[in-house]
Structure formats: structure tokens, C-alpha cells
Chain A
Amino acid sequence: MLVISCIKQVPDTTQVKIDPVTNTLVREGIPFIVNPYDTHALEEGLALKDRYGLRSVAISMGPPNTVATLKKACALGVDQAILLSDRAFGGADTLATSQVLASAIERLAQKEEVGIVFCGKQTIDGDTAQVGPGIATRLGFTQLTLVDRIEWLDLDKKRIRVRRKLEGRHEIVEAPLPVVITAVRELNRPRYPTVPMRLSAELTEVTVWDNQVLNLDVETVGLKGSATWVSKIFSPERDQGEIIGDGIKDPVGTAHLLLDKMLSKDLLAI
């Protein structure tokens, strides 16, 4: 059985700046990292490999330099790394991206049963949290989002029970395999690569699938297949802050002023 981790190479957003003139991301010299949430998706796939002997596969869609990210996955111990890369895939939004990833998973499923697909809950560059659910919908897999713990996995009965981390509460749900799980940080602690694994990853071939392999309608992928596109990027301007009252001389009065202000602007949701 396969356990697939979908990972994305993203610019290190702490270092990304927006060019004030062109309003585009300045990516020059910015290092790429594995999307932090995806490192948890990767770790859980590897943990299931270690525990149940599943075959672990990492896939990523992106430009050719994404090989670096997939090699990191190899250094951590995945059995196979697949890069989905084609000019036709470029400029994709979440819809078109999940289309390509789903089709690659389908292709893998032709040879070996897919049990679980892990994704990070969202990426730190796009922040949409749509690709995981998008893959699940296209594949017809059950989607278990925001998972912070796998309660149990029964490979004979092909069922899984997970805990979802929601706002202010947890939810425990059970589902039949195959499933798509999106990971939150609490799911696990990602492992650190050993040096022998890093060195062997250097020599590992990353499988590259382009559109000749996946054979998708070019109208459904990349920019053409995207339902949304980025028209402008800008840093939102924030109003100057203000100091209300005198918190030292009159703390109670100041607290009242602050409450009134928040009520008047409808900032307190009830």
C-alpha cells in the first residue's frame, strides 16, 4: 500500500519582500524551503512507513529546481520521489494544481493501492488551504483536514480514525481508506536527516513526470486551467495606531473607552 506525501517548495517567506514599484515578489537570492506544514505531511508518511511497512512516496509539482526539495525528502527516507514538472503546469492556481497532483496519484494507484495521501494544511506562500481538499475531491477520497493525531489505522479493515484540531475543540472522526489528510504542526515532530541518508539522496534519481506522461488536457492545467489568477500583490496599508485615554492614571476609564471603541467599530463578534 502506498502512502503519498504532497510537498511544495516555497520561498522562505520570512525573507520575501515586495518590490514597491512593480508590486511583485522579490525572489532574487531568496532561499527555497519545504513548506513547513508539508514537513509534517512528509514525516507522517515516513512514520507510517516505519510502523506498517507502507511504501512512502513524495510528490511535488513545480519548476525543475524543485528537485532539491524532493532530494530532501529522499534524505529523510521516502522510497520514491516524483517531480511533476512541465511548462504547461506553470502559473497554476489551487484548482489546476490539485488537478495535476490528483492525476499523478491516480497514475500511481494504477500500479499499487493508495491508502493515505498527506498534505500540509496550507502553504506559507499561498495560504489558501485548498489543494488538499481539491485532491480529495478529484480522487473521490475522504478528506480529513486539520489532523493533529492519528488515533489508529486498521489496514485489514481499511479504516482510520483521526483527531481534527478545530477552533476551540477537537473532533474525532473515522473514515474508510483511501483518505486525504491535511496536517497541522501538532501532528508530529519532523525527523532530521542522517548524513548517510543525505549522501545517498544526492545520488538518488528523482522521477520526473511531464505532461507527456500525465497526458492531461492543457486547457485544464497551468495558467489556462486556473479559475483564478493574481492580478496584483501589495502590502496592505495599516492605519496609524492611536493611544486611548491614560492607562496609568485611569485604567478603568481607559478600558471603558477601549471597549466602546471596539463596539462602535463592531470588532467584537458575539
Chain B
Amino acid sequence: MQSHPYFMPLLLVAVLTFCYSCYQRLQLVTAGAAENRFDRPGERLAGVFSYAFGQRRVLSRPFGVNHFVLFWAFLLLLVANADFLWQGLFPGSGLSALPEAVRHPLELAFDLVSLLALVSVLVALARRLFFAPSYLGNDYTKPCSGEALLILGMIATLMAAYFLMNAARLAPGSQTWQPVSRAVSFFLQGLPAATLDGVASVSWWAHAIVLLLFLNLLPRSKHMHILTAIPNCYFRNLDHPAVPPREEFQMGNRFGVSGVEQFSWKDLLDSFSCTECGRCQDLCPAHNTGKSLNPRRVVHDVKVNLLEKGGKPLIGPKGDGTSSEESLWDCTTCGACLSVCPVLIEHLPKIVKMRRHLVQEKARFPEELLNLFENMEQRSNPWGIAPSERGKWISVLGERSFKPGETEYLFFVGCAGSFDSRAKQTTLALATTLDRAGISWGILGKDEICCGDSVRRLGNEFVFDKMARDNAAMFRERGVKKIVTACPHCFSTLKNDYRQYGVELEVVHHSELIAQLVGDGRLKAPKKAGQGKVLFHDSCYLGRHNDTYAAPRAVIEAATGGVPGDFERNRENGFCCGAGGGRMWMEEQTGARINHERVKEALKQQPDTICVSCPYCMTMLEDGLKDQGAEKVRVRDIAEVMAEALNDR
């Protein structure tokens, strides 16, 4: 057998255009701003095995199994297809030249895997055609988009051609290690040899041409993820995906991102890694309540904008390649998109970077935020209440200042815990619970300043930077080593964001501390039922952002003797209360209210008490219950539940 004279030039053209497309896109990505994602290679590789080869996140939904099969089929068939192209150039070489002991098992594997691939492609096609989940589509793509059907069709054709080609070549009755191809060959029985040769030749060419077309479609479609997803997993954010990078406040610098080229190269790589699976969109509280934000769209728009080389505004009137300002302000930074993305795309930092531009370079933001920003700068709390009022809640307990060297825990009360009358009850409950356990704790009183969570998520990095530096200096000066707080926003900010300021503290959320005290026997678990049917609502900044799901549930169990019930959407799939990302201080004018959605979800189970572990969730759920006329359902912080149980004993 001899190589077809047209094949080599065809292959050459296909490979060169493929390489050129990849090169073009690589150039676009590398034009992004510098960011170090090359450290800790061991940890990165481990992630690649887990997220890419193990398909960890893909498999978190049932249909992911189909992708798992397809992914591994692709990896194995990569060898078969490389061999196919090689043999196209040099017939009789490659795998066919291997000894039978090696060749036969390979032939068997390729044959079976091709069948698996064909089946999973047909299943995928059926899913898109007949039972597509709503999140596959949105305002710019449909489940049955031409692109999706074309790709699935191509893969199916490749497999069919592969079987047909093998079947036509199999001599009737000959020994073969290709059971599927053998089965297909039964349909060809009795055909003359010349026809069989024709079938083999046509299917060989069909296979070759579709393969080369597929190769060239990859970089030009969402199937680019086949090339970029694995590197994207390697270059993932190892630290804390919700912590945006610091900014340097020097003349001449740019603040935030207004043009696509100002994103980091990893942000740009993200945009080419999106598979359009729609899972982020499915979980996003803003998208689910009819707001203009769709995290998938944000990433898509970055890609479109990049491919048009920034010819369109990145932020402006909503359009393909442009994110609207409204959509950027819709984000609650709940992190659902981050936690669900199978290829570890970082949507949230992109949104914060664009907010930074709007706030810091344009001073453009929803008008409610003007007061917030002024209050934060002038009085270091969101309400603008005099700082001297901060420590007033403590008067019932007497003087409890943090004393360097003597006090073990700094109780970082936070703005809500200090000023909000409802949250102050949580503060007192925690204080009395810690006293019960004999923990040494103290507060900073009027010297405590806001941790800066809201301003950072809102993109006002300039003000956050000042607050973080002031706080860092104060912690150092007072010798603070351990911090306990009842606010997940303070908790996450002090624990994760402040690392960028050289602050390495042992920060615990009160749920963790109380759970530990119960575990150590320092708090006698009262197991006092009295809250009725309890549901626990996961706080985004405690749960998703810090993987703490068990501790608050353990506290409730210890206090009530019963395991709390879960919302339909819970833990990693939890649904935000609507107050994160600075949304606490903004009006919610578009679509349904996020807290109403969450409360309705709770009311389906007719709870008596909804337990929370965050002062923002407390406000949002209480307000939501009032709006739904369900005030009889109580909202209690886990510390209150524990304190109530301890006092009842």
C-alpha cells in the first residue's frame, strides 16, 4: 500500500492552519498582564490529576459521567488518531508494525473505546435535543446551537467512519481483535471486493477529512477547551480564588481593568477554557433572580472582546464582548460560579477588577454606595455611626479590653456585631458562650476598625488598602495572635485577604471555636430541643469561600440534640442571601429579590427556626420572612442557639 499523493499536502495545510490559529490565540493570551502562576508545581500537577484527568468537578453532576467517558475515550483515541495520520503518510508503519502481542490489545482497546465514544456522543446529542437542562442555553447560545450539533456530528462521523473502514478491511472469517468492527462487517457481507475497497477508501478519507476539520475547528470554537482546560487546571489559583490581587497606588498606574488587555494572562486563558457548560449560570443568585449578570456571559464577553483585539468597549452597553455596568454590580461575590466550574475559571476576580476600574478611575457606581464609601473612610463603618459607639454593647458585661500578652483571643466584633441591634444579640450570645467555656477574650472597643470586606468586593481597593494597612499595624502593635469573629466576612477577609499584608493570624469563625469547645468538653453540650424544626443556611463566606460546612451544623446539633435540616440548595450549591459583595448596601431593583427566593426555598420545608452564621444572612432572611408574611419563623445565629440552650439548662 502506498500513501495517497494528496494526503501529505492536505495534512500539512491542516496542521499549519491549526498551529497558526493556536499561535494567534496564544499571542492574545500572553499579551495579558503578568501574574505568577508557576509556583508550587507539585501542588499544581496534583490538581491536574484530580480536576482534569480525574474530572472531579465534572463528575459532581450525574451527566458528568458522560463527559468522563468522552474525555478518556479522546485521550486513548489520540494515540489511535495520531497513528492513523502517521500511517496515512507511511502506510504499514506505526502501530501496525508492532508485534501482535502489543498490537492486538491496542486494537481491542481502540475498538471498544470508539464504541463508548460513539454512544456518549449520541447520549449527549439526545440530551441536547430532548432533555436539555435550562442552563445549557442563555441569551447568546442555545442547547442545540449549530456549533454544538456540528461538533457532536463530527465526532460521531469519525467513529462511524472508523468502524466502517475497519469492517471493510476485515476478511470474512478472519481472526480479529476488533469485535465492534467485526459486528459492522456483517452488514458488508457478500459485497464484491472492489466495493469493499471503495467503502474502505471512502471511509478512510471521510475519517481523515473530518479529523483535520475537527482539528481546525477546535481553536475556533468552545472546543478550544480541549486544548486549554488542562493547562487552565494547572495554572489555577492555589491560594484563594476569591482574593483579588493587591494594587499599587502610584501615579501613572492603572486601577482595575477597563480594557481586555489589562486582564492577567490567566484571566484571558480562562476565557478560552470555558466549555459553555452553564453550571455557573445555573447556580448564580443574580442570574436566577432575573438580573443582568451571568457569570458565563462575563467570561464569554472577555473572549469575544479579546478575539476582536479590544475593538469593543469591555464595559459599556450590554453586547457581545461587552459587560454592562449593571451586570457587574449585580454580583454578590457568593463564589458559586467559582466552586462549580469544572475547569476552575475565576469569574469573580474579573468582576472585581472591572468594578475597581469603575470605582477608582471613573468614580461611577450605584448612588447608594457614595454614603457607604464616605462612611467607611470617615468613620470606618458602613453606617457612619460614631466609632465611640462601637464598644457600647459590652457595658452589660463590664470592661473587656484586649490586653497584649494576657488575652488569648481578640474578639473581632465587626461592624454589624457592634452597631446592628439584631447582630448585637449574636455578639452578646457569643460573649457569654465564650465565658461559659472559660475562654480568655477581649475587644478593641472604639479602636476596632472595619475589616474592609465590602469596599474590597465593591472594587474600592484604595480605601480597602488603607483599612487593611491600619488593621495590620494595629494587630502587630497589640500583639494579636488569635482572632475569633462571628462574621464570616470579617473572618474570610482577616484570614485570607490580609495575608497579602503580611498578617498571619489564627483566625477562627465562632462556629469553629464553639464546635471545638464542645468537642473538647469545655462546653457541655446541652442538647436542648426548643428550636423546633431547624434549617441551616450556609453563609457563602464561611462555606464556599472557606470550606466550613460541618462546624456550624455541629454546634446546632450539640445545642439542640438534632441534626439541622438542609435547604434544597446547600453547602457548595448553597444559595446566597443576597448581601455579599457589598450588595448589603445597595438597592435590589431588577428581578426577584434574592432573599425572597431563599426564604421561599426554606418555607417549602415549614421550619420553625432558620439558623445562620452571619449577620448579613440574619438581616436578609429576617427581612425576607417579613416580606413573605412568615415572621413566625425565627432566624437565629448558631451562637444564640447555643447560648439559649446553655442558659436553659
Contact = CB atoms under 8 A, between A and B. Distances in A.
Interface string A165-200: 000000000000000000000000111111110111
B550 interface: no
Nearest to A193: B363
A196 B363 contact: no
Given A14-B386, A15-B387, A15-B388, A194 B251 contact: no
Given A33-B378, A189-B370, A195 B388 contact: no
Nearest to B463: A195
Nearest to A200: B251
B251 A203 contact: yes
B127 interface: no
B362 interface: yes
Interface string A1-44: 00000000000101101000000000000010100000000000
A12 B379 contact: yes
A157 to B, nearest CB: 33
A190 B255 CA distance: 22
Contacts of B384: 14
Contacts of A196: 251, 255, 361
A31 B251 CA distance: 27
Contacts of A193: 363
Nearest to B462: A195
A194 B356 CA distance: 11
B378 A12 contact: yes
A194 B363 contact: yes
Interface residues of B, number: 21
A118 B385 CA distance: 29
A198 B360 CA distance: 10
B378 A199 contact: no
Contact of A194 (B250, B360, B379, B388): B360
Contacts of A203: 251
B53 interface: no
Contacts of A189: 367, 370
Contacts of B462: 195, 198
A193 B365 CA distance: 12
Interface string B247-277: 0011100010000000000000000000000
Given A195-B255, A200-B251, A31 B378 contact: yes
B361 A195 contact: yes
B235 interface: no
Nearest to A39: B374
A14 B250 CA distance: 33
A11 to B, nearest CB: 12
Nearest to B247: A195
B360 A199 contact: no
Interface string B385-399: 111100000000000
A192 B363 contact: yes
A105 B250 CA distance: 35
A15 B386 contact: yes
B78 to A, nearest CB: 49
B251 A199 contact: yes
Contacts of B362: 194
Nearest to B254: A196
Of the listed residues A193, A194, A203, the one surrounded by the most CB atoms of chain B closer than 10 A to its CB is A194
B361 A194 contact: yes
B363 A191 contact: yes
A190 B363 CA distance: 11
B590 to A, nearest CB: 22
A189 B368 CA distance: 11
B378 A192 contact: no
A16 B378 CA distance: 14
A192 B361 CA distance: 10
A21 to B, nearest CB: 18
B388 to A, nearest CB: 6
A194 to B, nearest CB: 5
B616 interface: no
B111 to A, nearest CB: 63
Of the listed residues A12, A15, A189, A191, the one surrounded by the most CB atoms of chain B closer than 10 A to its CB is A15
Contacts of B363: 191-194
B641 to A, nearest CB: 35
Nearest to B362: A194
Given A14-B386, A15-B387, A33-B378, A192 B251 contact: no
Nearest to A203: B251
B373 interface: yes
Nearest to B378: A33
B250 A199 contact: yes
Nearest to A12: B378
A73 to B, nearest CB: 15
A159 B363 CA distance: 32
Contacts of B387: 15
Contacts of A31: 378-379
Contacts of B379: 12, 14-15, 31
Contacts of A191: 363
Interface in B336-372: 359-363, 365, 367, 370
Interface string A194-218: 1110111001000000000000000
A195 B360 CA distance: 5
Contact of A192 (B249, B255, B373, B385): B373
Interface in B382-435: 384-388
B315 to A, nearest CB: 15
B276 to A, nearest CB: 36
B370 A195 contact: no
A31 B255 CA distance: 28
22 contacts: A12-B378, A14-B384, A14-B385, A15-B388, A17-B388, A31-B378, A31-B379, A189-B367, A191-B363, A192-B363, A192-B365, A192-B370, A192-B373, A193-B363, A194-B362, A194-B363, A196-B255, A198-B462, A199-B250, A199-B251, A200-B251, A203-B251
Interface of B: 249-251, 255, 359-363, 365, 367, 370, 373, 378-379, 384-388, 462
Given A15-B388, A196-B361, 14 more contacts: A12-B378, A14-B379, A15-B379, A31-B379, A189-B367, A190-B370, A191-B363, A195-B249, A195-B255, A195-B361, A196-B251, A199-B249, A199-B251, A200-B251
Top 9 A-B residue pairs of the complex, sorted by shortest distance between their CB atoms: A195-B360, A192-B363, A15-B386, A14-B386, A195-B255, A195-B462, A194-B363, A199-B251, A194-B361
